[in-house]
Amino acid sequence: MFKSLFDAAQNSTFKSPFTSVNCQAATPASAPTSSAVVTPALKDVTPRQLTPNHNIAAAAAIEGDSCEFGSNHYFLLCGLGGIISCGSTHTMVVPLDLVKCRLQVDPAKYKSVFTGFRISMAEEGVRGLAKGWAPTFIGYSMQGLCKFGLYEVFKKIYGDAIGEENAFLYRTGLYLAASASAEFFADIALAPMEAAKVKIQTTPGFAKTLREALPKMTAQEGVTAFYKGLVPLWMRQIPYTMMKFACFERTLELLYKYVVPKPRADCTKGEQLVVTFAAGYIAGVFCAIVSHPADTVVSKLNQAKGASALDVAKQLGWSGLWGGLVPRIVMIGTLTAAQWFIYDAVKVALRMPRPPPPEMPESLKKKLGVTGEQ
C-alpha cells in the first residue's frame, strides 16, 4: 500500500509547488522562474527548466543533493528522519511522560508534577522513572516513520491533484489534509506499543518490562488489548499532528517574512535550524492544548480494563479531561521543537533537498496582478 502511494506521488503529471524535479536536467530556461528564492551556494547559477513547460529555481536541484525531491528515495529518507526525531525525543522525556500519565489516571495520589516525581522516586527509585522506555522508543519510531514519510507523500499527491495555484492558495488546508492522512496510518503502527507503555507506567505491579507486559496483555484481553485505544489515539494524535504540521509550516513562513532580518536563502544552515526550533516550539504549545483531552482518555483507558472511551470521558468529567495539561505543554512543546530540529538536521546531514517556504506561482501573480514580492 505504501509503495503505491510513493509511486503515485512520484509519477503524478500535475504541477505544484511540490513538483518533483529531475536533477540531471540541464536545458537552459528562457522564461522567468517561478521561485526567486535560492540557496547561497546557487545565487549566481542560471535557472533551469527542469520539467516541460514548468520553470523552477535551480536551487531545487542542487548538485550534490543525495536524492531527487519527490522521489521514492526522498520519501524513504524523510521516513528515516521521522524515526530518528520521534523515537529519540519521546524516549528522552519518558520520566515526564510517566508522571504525566500518573497525574491523569490517579490525581488523588499524584497531585502535581513535583509530587508525582517525588512519589515515583520514593516508591521505585530513579530507575523507576524510565519505566516504559522500550515501548516508547519502538512505538514512536514506527509512528515517526509513517508520520513524516507519509506526510511528504500525501502533501505531494494532494498538491498535484489540486494544481499549483490552488496548492499555494489553500496550502494550510493542504498541510492539514496531508498530516491527517499520514497520522491515520501512523497511529495504527503506534497503538500496540502505546497500550503497553501506559499499562506498564500506570498499573502498579503489572509489569516492569515490555517483554513481561506483552504476554500478560495478550493472555488477559487478547489482541484487542493493543488496539482498544486506537480510536481515542486517533482523536488525540490526528488533531495534534494536523496542528503540528500546519502550524509549523505557516509559523515558519511568517517567521522568515516578519521576524528573521534576512531572507532564508541568506541564512546559514545553523540559523535556519534555530528558526526551525522556534517554529516547532510554537506549534508544540498549540498541539498540546488541542490534543490533551483525548490524551487523558487514552491514559485512563489503557489502565481501566473493559471500559470504553466514552465511559472514561464521562467518568473523568470536563475538568478531569484537562488533568496534567501543564506538564504536557512543557513536554509537547519541547518534543515538537526538538523533533522538527532533528528532522531538519537529518535532512541537512543526508544532503536532502530542502525547498524554501512556498511562494506564489508566477501564473497566479499575473492573474491577481501581483508585482514584486508576495
Q: Hey, which residues does 51 pair with through a beta bridge?
A: 54
Reference 100, options 87, 85, 89, 115; nearest CA is 115
Q: Hey, which residues does 56 pair with through a beta bridge?
A: 48
Single pTM value for the model: 0.73
Per residue in 176-198, pLDDT (tens digit) is 999 999 999 999 999 999 999 98
Q: Where residue 276 falls among pLDDT bands split at 50, 70, 90?
A: very high
Mean pLDDT of the chain: 81
- Give the pLDDT confidence score for residue 369 in this predicted structure: 81
Backbone dihedral angles phi then psi of residue 51, each to the nearest 5 degrees: -135, 150
- Give the pLDDT confidence score for residue 328 in this predicted structure: 81
Query: What residue spans define the domains of the chain?
Result: 66-227, 231-348
Per residue in 26-78, pLDDT (tens digit) is 444 444 433 333 444 444 444 443 333 333 333 344 567 899 999 999 999 99
Supply angle C-alpha 231, 235, 240, rounded to 5: 140
Q: How many CB atoms lie within 10 A of CB 269?
A: 13
Element housing 288 (H / E): helix 269-301
Cell readout for 228 is: 482498544
pLDDT at 20 over 60: no
Cell readout for 92 is: 528522552
pLDDT at 203 over 80: yes
Residues listed for the chain: 374
Q: Grid coordinates 478531569 are at which residue?
A: 320
CATH of domain 66-227: 1.50.40.10
The three-class DSSP label of residue 56 is strand
Element housing 49 (H / E): strand 48-51
Residue 174 identity (one-letter amino acid): L
- Give the pLDDT confidence score for residue 304 in this predicted structure: 63
Per residue in 204-248, pLDDT (tens digit) is 889 889 999 999 999 998 988 899 889 888 988 898 899 999 999
User: What is the DSSP secondary structure assignment for residue 266, as one 8-state letter?
Assistant: G
More confident: 290 or 152: 152
Average pLDDT (198-203) is 88
Reference 241, options 184, 197, 313; nearest CA is 184
- Give the pLDDT confidence score for residue 7 in this predicted structure: 61
**What is the distance between the alpha carbons of residues 372 and 124, in angstroms, rounded to a whole number?**
63
